[in-house]
Structure 1
Amino acid sequence: MELFTSEGCSSCPSADAALRDLETAQTVPGVEVIALGEHVDYWNRLGWKDAFSAPAYTARQRQYAQGFGTGSYTPQAVVNGRYELVGSRTGELAATVAKAAKAPQATVGLRVRQGRAEVRVQNLPAGTPTAEVLLAITESGLSSQVGRGENAGRLLRHAAVVRQLLPLGRVGADGTFSADQALTLPTAWQRPNLRAVVLVQEVASRHIVGVATAALSE
């Protein structure tokens, strides 16, 4: 589940909390909820600069908005690239996750060792068109004391924040992909709280058809 959020948005903390709860409790039967908090930068001009924001996440949200026929807003949750909804709707989030999980998924392997991520993709769902492979690095346990803007004076606790989102390449015509990616992890990032997440995403529809995740605690 991707959550497009901002520390400058007063309605976003409740969505952060909802996503944290879903990831921690894992209450959707047979489904692993993987949190991807993507902090957009268009709130930064309104009184508070979100230190976790980046133009890349704003651009990614806009890609989704074009496909869904919606505008970009916060907090916006996108589930498997297939469904979008207001990120604070707790009950609806769980139901949407359960629905999205019924779609066929590729086989994705991810192994992290010695500062590298080894990625393998095969068995794409039948009829899958061109797909790209992305590698996200997330960090959990992050918080901010906000000094200005709509959340002035609040201590905000975040769901897992996307620190990096790297394109690795496209799945081949034979439906397979492999990569051995070096990881660049700033020392300020807390290694015990880091995870790697691989996404296999259809280029045209933006549907996510495969996911894998691994801790970076080595």
Structure 2
Amino acid sequence: MHLFPARSLAVSFLALSAAAILRAQAPSAKPSVVLVELFTSEGCSSCPPADALLRQIDHTQTSAGQLIVGISEHVTYWNSLGWSDPFSSSIYTDRQSSYGQRFNLDSVYTPQMIVNGSDQFVGSDKASLIRAIQRQPADHQPVTLNISSVNRTGNSLAVTFSAAGAIPTNGTDIIAVLADDTDQSSVQRGENSGRTLTHVAVARSLTRVATLKSAEEKTISVALPSSFQPTQHHHLILFAQALGYGRVLGADSKPI
């Protein structure tokens, strides 16, 4: 783990079996979703094990049948320390900072995982990940999100989705993330100099597209980022989050 601005802190990477949280066969019913956000940077030497852990679990299912959906959010505060991460954005730095305030952390750090907006821990700590996932209700999500259609119109996507269930009376934010399925980078400088790094579910945009106070069907427009490559595989992640960077209440994901 790297606290920032501190440069190093030893972290043990626990080699636990993936079988503790995953299973190979998918259930027939649409599973509930566990959203795993990873705040990472290519400039951080502690981050590749966390990137590898996210690759291991992204779009797999738990023994309870939940679908794990990952988002790799690359922060910017390492960019001045030898290597400018090509996937980084201040959007993710600001989001992590807001989480830091919510969790009363002394400092933001990389790598950091946040599960369903409710648990945070060092992003390479598989044991903490297992415990956080096991704490998520397997048979119920407060909000059921369903992406019914995604259509490209020029430089944006027209997304129709429905939201149902126990929507908070004070509202819930609907967040849209456009992510590359996979990305790879040859790092030339900094702590990971000479390494080729591979990432999954790399966020290229993250936008609050609506705030809902009741169940409804809605069509929204999501702008395509300048980094969008039509020949590359992408997916859209839509999730409902309690106001103030609170608990993730429901999510859905769809290839685009």
TM-score, normalisation: structure 1: 0.90
| Pair 1:107 & 2:144 matched | yes
1:6 corresponds to which residue?
41
Gap regions ≥5 residues in structure 2: 1-35, 153-157
Superposed, 1:1-218 pairs within 5 Å as 1-23=36-58, 25-70=60-105, 71-102=107-138, 104-115=141-152, 116-124=158-166, 129-172=170-213, 174-176=214-216, 178-184=218-224, 186=226, 188-189=228-229, 193-204=233-244, 206-216=246-256
CA-to-partner distance for each residue in 1:31-73, whole Å, 9 max, x for gaps? 1100100000000010100010000100000111111111210
* Structure number with larger C-alpha Rg: 2
* Cα distance in structure 1, aligned partners of 2:122 and 2:217: 34
Residues 1:135 and 1:5: Cα distance change in structure 2 (over 3 Å): same
CA RMSD of aligned residues (A): 2.0
Deviation of residue 162 (structure 1)?
0.5
User: What residue identity is the alignment partner of 1:122?
Assistant: A
Moved over 6 A (4+): none
TM-superposition CA deviations, 1:103-122 (whole Å, max 9, x none): 63311111333312112212
Q: Partners of 1:153 and 1:117 in 2: how far apart?
A: 40
Residue type of the alignment partner of 2:219: A
Cα deviation for residue 199 of structure 1 reads 1.1
Q: Where does the alignment leave 5 or more consecutive residues of structure 1 unmatched?
A: none
Structure 2 counterpart of 1:59, one-letter code: D
Please tell me whether the aligned partners of residues 128 and 202 of structure 1 are also in contact (alpha carbons under 8 angstroms).
Answer: no
- Counterpart of 1:64 in structure 2: which amino acid? Y
CA contact (8 A) 1:136 1:196 kept: yes
- Between 1:25-34 and 1:10-19, the stretch displaced more is 25-34
Percent identical: 32
Counterpart Cα distance in 2 of 1:63 and 1:202: 13
SS in 1 for 2:93: helix
Q: Which amino acid aligns with 1:136?
A: V
